[in-house]
Homo-oligomer: A and B are copies of this chain.
Amino acid sequence: MKKQRKRRKLQTPSDDVRNRILDAAAELVAEGGFPALRMDDLARRAGIAVGTFYLYFEGKDDLFVQLVIGYTDRLLERFHEADLQDGTVTERLARRFDRYLDFVDENRAGFLYFRDSGAVDTTGGRLSAWALKVHAADTQPLLEEGMATGEIREQDAELLAHAVVGLLQHIVGVWLDDPDSMSRDRIRRFLDGFIAFGMQPRSRTAGDGRR
């Protein structure tokens, strides 16, 4: 008991130091990708000794998991910030799409590494599945609100949330795999149309009388 307390004290946990390490790691990942991240560069950037890193993280794998959790948190924060502004559900969803595109654009190297290496197992399940589920679960209430107000056609809200999240992640990945092949505007325009109206021609939709 005493020993444990002593051990805890030695770790001098400080949210400030932990966040400094995570911020420095995010910067270095953005610059050079995760595989190239070196402990001594990270320590220098965070202004800590290398040994201090291991008081906060078990190693590089643990850092990756914590980074993904941190990125997910920050993405949701931006969504919630966007939700605070007025607007119809459709407008608020469109703002979320913009926030998502901005976020991925700012964190290109991190996003691609997450997409390609995020399937690591954790005690909470596969990391990438966890992050996408969190994103979908956060989107679902907005979709349900839209169905309640009549802005969104009644459909399976859970699957719709998964579909929107999966579609965004895939399209953005196609973009970042070859960023010069298409503009952000082109993606945004496509998403607006497809997510709102699907594939059916508007005229046929209007005329065929099906619900």
Contacts and interface: CB of A to CB of B under 8 A. Distances in A.
A205 B204 contact: no
Q: In the complex this chain forms, how many copies of it are found?
A: 2
A95 to B, nearest CB: 15
Interface in A179-199: 182, 186-187, 189-190, 193-199
Nearest to A119: B116
A152 interface: yes
A174 B162 CA distance: 8
Contacts of A187: 159
Q: Which of A117, A146, A200, A210 has the most CB of B within 10 A?
A: A200
B194 A197 contact: no
A14 interface: no
Interface in A121-139: 126, 129, 132-133
10 contacts: A115-B119, A117-B119, A126-B177, A146-B199, A151-B204, A153-B200, A159-B171, A170-B170, A194-B198, A197-B198
